[in-house]
Amino acid sequence: MHELYYWIALRLTCGIGNVNYKNLINHFGTPEKIFHADAAELRKVEGISARARESVLKFKHSHVIDMELDLITAEKIEIVTLNSPNYPENLKNIYDPPPFLYVKGKLNKQDCNAIAVVGSRRASEYGIKVTEEISRALALRDITIISGMARGIDSQAHEAALACGGRTIAVLGCGVDVVYPPENRKLYGAIVSNGAVISEYPMGTEPNSYNFPARNRIISGLSIGVLVAEASLKSGSLITARLALDQGRDVFAVPGNIFSLKSKGSNSLLKSGAQLVEGADDIIESMHFKVNAYKKAEEEENEKAGNLSMEAQTIYKLLQKESAQIDEIILKSRLSSSQVSSVLLELELNGFIKQLPGKRFCTY
């Protein structure tokens, strides 16, 4: 029988949670040996209830597991178990690590140098901008960006890492074969190609609300620090921050507008002792990362920008400082409306800028 069969079987056994699962693996070595053990041997494992022992001893073959294995094969999903050398070391060391992960894409050793970037699903333009700049700067220094592929801050963190050729990992609160939110299908594909989409939930699991708090412990567990870019007082990002502290991770927060409800959560974290972040260097210095200098991608981007027309360079430099609405660009650049429209189209087509709602533009 396939080795993974027993890993999935133990996950489905009544009375076996993540902590008990880990204790059983530490004692027996593999799930297959657990199912071949007798009651006396099972009693030696701390925390295993009589109900759990009974469930293990009475386990029978399940076609549900066969179907799961068939789906994994069909969708080209990798199962990374606690015994696998590819299981993330940071995550393995938390109190209740998932016994195995469903992985679409690839995990690698570089991912131990990771920062989680989380925040509001209804992010402000300010939140989007700081997320983009900080995530991009971290990714350019070979730091993997971890997030949850939710709308708003999460999606922007992934996109910023991908835009500069960096690595990023998305942790889902649903099955790894379920794209949520559905409008992120293109982003999902890009993450798979340049990192990994992972989940602890079985194939086909829907994105139920109660899955996400548990999912958040994986986001923080994969990282060595968590950045809250922007969050309200009721944001799930504060759960991630609390979990990060429980796991011994550093928590960072970007200060926000004191009049904005969207910043109340992140500002509250700062009052509680989170480290204030104004840029990627604050995180780098605090975490003592051994990072590479900016990649060639940064140099190539600057060189490419140098080949733009004078008008395009003028507008590009304006937008590097802050996003702007088209009328503001016309005013600040002192160019005609037709010139500005033409240049904005040129910059957008060449991947230097993107358009935001309300005819606003910003750099990638």
* pLDDT recorded at residue 300: 55
Determine the pLDDT at residue 294: 47
Q: Tell me whether strands 195-199 and 225-230 are parallel, antiparallel or unpaired.
A: unpaired
Q: How confident is the model over 305-325, as a mean pLDDT? A: 80
Question: H or E stretch including 196?
Answer: strand 195-199
Read off the pLDDT of residues 70-89 as tens digits, 9 standing for 90 and up: 999 999 999 999 999 899 99
Cβ 361 vs Cβ 344: under 8 Å: yes
pLDDT per residue as tens digits for the range 224-281: 999 999 999 989 999 999 999 999 999 999 999 999 999 999 999 999 999 999 999 9
Q: Is the pLDDT score of 293 beyond 80?
A: no
Mean pLDDT of the chain: 91
Cβ-count burial of 74 within 10 angstroms (0-12 exposed, 13-18 middle, 19+ buried)? exposed
Q: What value does the mean pLDDT take over residues 330-348? A: 88
Q: What is the pLDDT of residue 303?
A: 58
Beta bridge partners of 252: 227, 275
Q: At residue 305, does pLDDT exceed 80?
A: no
pLDDT over 90 (residue 364): no
Residues 128-152: pLDDT tens digits? 999 999 999 999 999 999 999 999 9
Q: What angle do CA 339, 345, 349 make, to 5 degrees?
A: 145
| 51-60, 147-156, 165-174, 180-189, range with the lowest pLDDT | 51-60
Structure tokens that stand for 182 in this block: 């559905």
Q: Is pLDDT larger for residue 301 or for residue 88? A: 88
Token reading at 150: 């939710």
Q: How confident is the model at residue 291 (pLDDT cuts 50, 70, 90)?
A: low
Distance CA 125, CA 136 (A): 16
Q: Mean pLDDT across the stretch 339-357?
A: 85
Which pLDDT score, from 0 to 100, does residue 258 have? 92
User: What does the alpha-carbon distance between residue 103 and residue 94 come to, in Å, rounded to a whole number?
Assistant: 19
Residue 288: the pLDDT is 78
Give pLDDT, residue 320: 76
Q: Please determine, for residue 348, whether its predicted confidence score (pLDDT) is greater than 80.
A: yes
Question: Has residue 45 got a pLDDT over 70?
Answer: yes
Domains of the chain plus CATH, in order, are 1-73 (1.10.150.20), 109-287 (3.40.50.450), 308-363 (1.10.10.10)
Identify the pLDDT of residue 290.
57
Q: Is the pTM of this model over 0.85?
A: no
Cβ atoms 113, 262 nearer than 8 A: no
